[in-house]
Amino acid sequence: MAEYSTIKPLVLYDIPSNESSPRCWGPNTAKTRFNLSYKRIPFTTQWVEYPSIAPTMESLGADPLLPVAQSPSDEPSYTLPVIYDPNHDKYVTDSFAIAQYLDSVYPTPGRELFPEGTAALQRAWEAAFTGALQKGLRAVYAGVPAKLNPPSGEYFARTRAKRFGVNTWEEISSNALDASDPSSRAAHLRELQAGLAGVEGWLKVSSGGGKWVMGDHLSWADVFLGAWLLWFSRVAEDWEEIKGWHGGRWGRFFDDILAESDVKLD
Ligand SMILES: N[C@@H](CCC(=O)N[C@@H](CS)C(=O)NCC(=O)O)C(=O)O
């Protein structure tokens, strides 16, 4: 494997939780964290609170996320992760584009995130995976604001309530996590479990019985799943239960990808 210990460290822009260590928690920035760690590319983290993402990225000259990377009706918007590569004086936005950039500029033979010819299929994996879990995600989202610093917590609750089409965040959080409403909480968890059952079915037909989506080769598709598991582990009140589902597959997968990536959590 190529050795990158002598290059200038890249900068990963990430959103902090309100815990001192680790501070990382979000699924999108975690993908890049896994990628950099797995490829053994040195990096430092620059923490940015949600309301500061757009002004900070605009002032740095980083690109907004283009609508095509989201849905056709969306406006361009500033999102994290963004990386800055001082070795090429370049900012890159969007976890998928960053992974492709890293594969092309820092090839690491044997640790390619996109083995030849697999990028389109891996893009499709993202869509299928996100679609499969979408309905149960309220159980995870509900735990986020309490994990963030006040400016980010307030921003997250306000913007995500709008995205879910509800007036106040309490409609999300009480639906999903109010222990006095067990059926509602259970309903969201069961949706999540059903979504993960679908993903488990895909993993079961992976070649040669290897533990990764592509058998023995860890790729972007695994990082996508691993980053979501990191998110669940950091914010979902029910993580202990979730990681035991499907014969303990999710807990095992999470431990495996943390170890294989040697992920720098910060
Ligand atoms: N497809 C993008 C999605 C990035 C994204 O949505 N990031 C969230 C943080 S998890 C964000 O920065 N949101 C900004 C906002 O809500 O204003 C990627 O994978 O990088």
95 C-beta closer than 6 A to ligand 1: yes
Range list of β-strands (E), 75-137: 82-85, 90-93
pLDDT for position 174: 65
pLDDT at 257 exceeding the cut of 80: yes
pLDDT for position 165: 83
Task: Give the pLDDT mean for 144-168.
Answer: 92
pLDDT for position 138: 85
Could you tell me which residues come within 8 angstroms of residue 82 by beta carbon, excluding any fewer than 6 positions away?
Answer: 13, 57, 60, 62, 91, 92, 93, 98
Distance 247 CA to ligand 1 centre (A): 32
- Mind listing the pLDDT tens digit for each residue in 2-12? 689 899 999 99
Measured distance CA(239)–CA(108) in Å, rounded: 33
- Going by pLDDT thresholds of 50, 70 and 90, the confidence category of residue 113 is very high
> Which among 23, 28, 35 is the best mutation to test ligand 1's pocket, defined by most ligand atoms within 8 Å of the CB?
28
- Mind listing the pLDDT tens digit for each residue in 18-55? 999 999 999 999 999 999 999 999 999 999 999 999 99
Q: Which of 193, 158, 151, 183 is nearest to 172 (CA)?
A: 158
Instruction: Give the architecture (CATH level 2) of 10-105.
Output: 3-Layer(aba) Sandwich (3.40)
Least confident of 98-102, 132-136, 251-255, 257-261: 132-136
> Which among 29, 32, 80 is the best mutation to test ligand 1's pocket, defined by most ligand atoms within 8 Å of the CB?
80
Question: Which amino acid is present at 97?
Answer: A
- Whole-Å CA distances, 82 to 78, 90, 206, 216: 9, 10, 31, 29
pLDDT for position 125: 97
Q: Which atom of ligand 1 is nearest to the CA of 79?
A: 12
Q: Which atom of ligand 1 is nearest to the CA of 31?
A: 19
Distance 156 CA to ligand 1 centre (A): 11
16 C-beta closer than 6 A to ligand 1: no
User: What's the chain's Rg over C-alpha atoms?
Assistant: 18
- Mind listing the pLDDT tens digit for each residue in 177-232? 554 564 577 788 899 999 999 999 999 988 677 899 999 999 999 999 999 999 99
Identify whether the C-beta of residue 94 lies closer than 8 Å to the C-beta of residue 69: yes
159 C-beta closer than 6 A to ligand 1: yes
Distance 29 CA to ligand 1 centre (A): 8
The CATH number corresponding to 119-261 among 3.30.465.10, 1.20.1050.10, 1.10.10.60, 1.10.3720.10 equals 1.20.1050.10
- Going by pLDDT thresholds of 50, 70 and 90, the confidence category of residue 169 is confident
- The whole-chain average pLDDT of the chain stands at 91
Q: Where are the domains of the chain?
A: 10-105, 119-261
